[in-house]
Amino acid sequence: MRSLLIVVAALVPGMQLLAQQNVVQSGATNRKVESILSQMSLEEKITMLGGVRSFFVPGLARLGIPELGTADSPFGVRANSRSTVYAGGIGLAATWNPALAERQGTELGRDARARGIHFSLGPGVNIYRAPLNGRNFEYYGEDPFLASRIAVGFINGVQSQGVSSTIKHFLGNNSEFARNSSDSRIDERALREIYMPAFEAAAKEAHVGAIMESYNLTNGLYMSENGRLLNDVVKREWGFDGVLMSDWGAVHSALGAATGGVDLEMPGGAHFNRDSLMPLIQQGKVSQADIDDKVRRILRTATRLGWLDRPQLDRSIPLLNERGRLAALQGAREGMVLLKNDRNLLPLSKSAVKSIAVIGPNAYPAVPVGGGSAMIPTFHAVSFLEGLGNHLGTAVNVSYNRGIASLAQAVGMTQFMTAPTNGNPGLNVETFENVDLSGTPANTRVMPRVAVGRALDLGGLATGEIDFSAFFGPPGAVSTRWTGYITPQTPGTYDIFVEQGGFGDQGYRLYVDDKLVRDSWKIVTAIVEQQSVSLDATAHKIVLEHHAVRGFGTPFYRMGIVRQGRWIDPTAEEIAAKADVVVLAVGFDPETESEGWDRSFRLPPGQDELIQRIVARNRMLFSSRPGILGRTGARHWPRSCSVT
């Protein structure tokens, strides 16, 4: 006890000095903020509360307030150029290393400064409560304490560089299915013990600059209007003095969000604008004090992080940051987990192994991230094939085969005819300007295959390869009926898969020979769904009915039919049989695990078949399933797997 008292006494003077410094700094910040606020008109204040040009917060040049840039940055900065990608959320959590999280955050903050970014939109800390959540790869796992420690370390690193972290998505956003309409019903104890700790630690310990509220409802209220959680808990109870930012398009009404606690509406002022807010202020439903508090929070964050005193763009920091690359490498190493080592297969011996077959859809090219806003265009991602080849050099013969048709190839290989006999190649397509296929078609045509739109490649936004406005289609609904015939060359069991993408409301029904075999009209459980049907060698009628309401992201969907046993490239089996060891890389990728949609529990179509066929040809199998390094747990693995 005496030792403890001596230590505490020794620390008190330093603690007092630090407290005094914080008070002085806070006082100076507040005085500067109040000075700027007092010079702003009400109209200027309102203008600052709604984003502009999708990823920017309005500035005010006459008072020296710059336009503030934001960028999706859960584990890499997607803005203006390619960027270094650090360990994904679950991979970083798997390191159990808050110091490494801070190191990676520091380097990500430097990457943001090199691109002139003020708000880094990350980290994501929603707790794993549904294993099929399409964004689980972004988050820090199911343990609130671990998530808190990793989040605090990461945020401290980012903000040490004068960049604000934006912790997300508050609160109860634990599935992508119906994320704009689902209601997370959570009791108080679960809120406090499971869902809130990472956010609370970020606010109280890391003093995070911004918190992003989620799309969903929690306990009956949209989070953008949930004053009890945003105002009472976050702002008052936790003392959070930063910015409560909406997710993109998550505000539903000006009054609800203004009084519910949202400070900044992104990506634009659809509700936080003069036309909507001024009447509410004049009617006394929203006070000028509320508006001042919102602007004050933006100015306080900007002042605290130095954005009013210097340019955010720091050209002395290289875009390709070698320090960041080394931190990313360390994160990849520490995030790996050895689950099994049957027959002491590992480590492989260069002297004993003379040939390795690298097989699988995730073997090459590398799959560093999942889909959606986490997509980062990388400078260079090292695949399993390249990594093994570089390490082994000429000592071991390394061969490669993808092993399985891609979903796009499977769609292209599906041959339809317009009639059971004497038809033309393709399907008859009827398009209706409503969601229920009613009335007379607005358009009829013949299409060679079911393939509409394209996958939502947000990564291309960073390099200027994709125009962001292209993802906002005109409002309205559309439904389509596709009717075609296939005649199998051989009878057997066939896999029919339907893949959907984009962020709009979509659904479909699938008929085989006028029998409904899949009804996902109202509920689509996964981004890729498949159905197995038995077909003989005669003509079979296939009908796909699809509907979509356009929103953010144009509708994207496609369908393919493959006979079981025909997914696999025979060459893959041949090289597997000849090799001493097979490295089999299977799993998910941005097209099968993504924001906007949940994923399936089973592997993507054909991959189970690939594993079975390759294992049958070579029992020395070193199998990697994840696709995103370290993101999957033991319950997802095939029995033959050894490591991730």
Catalytic residues: 247
Q: Are 119 and 298 in contact (CB under 8 A)?
A: no
Q: Which two tokens stand for residue 175?
A: 């599935």
Q: Is the backbone of residue 49 left (phi > 0), alpha (psi -120 to 50) or beta?
A: alpha
Q: How do strand 355-359 and strand 397-401 relate by DSSP bridges? A: parallel
Helix, strand, coil tally for the chain in percent (to 5):
35, 25, 45
Q: For residue 52, give the DSSP letter.
A: B
- Residue 535's beta-bridge partner residues? 492
Kindly give, in sequence order, each residue whose CB lies less than 8 Å from that of residue 169, ignoring residues fewer than 6 positions away: 124, 126, 212, 213, 214, 215, 247
Q: Which residue is listed with tokens 């060459």?
A: 571
Q: For residue 62, give the DSSP letter.
A: G
- Residue 477's beta-bridge partner residues? 549
Q: Which residue is listed with tokens 């002297």?
A: 351
| Distances from the Cα of 592 to the Cα of 370, 499, 506, 516, 640, angstroms | 8, 8, 16, 24, 22
| Distances from the Cα of 457 to the Cα of 119, 377, 464, angstroms | 22, 10, 12
- Residue 398's beta-bridge partner residues? 356
- Rounded to whole angstroms, the Cα distance separating 187 from 219 reads 8
Q: For residue 628, give the DSSP letter.
A: S
Q: Which two tokens stand for residue 349?
A: 């011996």
State yes or no: cis peptide before 267, omega within 30 of 0: yes
Using alpha carbons, select from 612, 629, 625 the residue that is nearest to residue 576. Answer: 612
Using alpha carbons, select from 244, 272, 168, 181 the residue that is nearest to residue 218. Answer: 181
What is the enclosing helix (H) or strand (E) of 496?
Answer: strand 492-501
- The single-letter code of the amino acid at 538 is T
Backbone angles phi, psi at 608, to 5 degrees: -60, -40
Q: Which residue is listed with tokens 């708000």?
A: 119
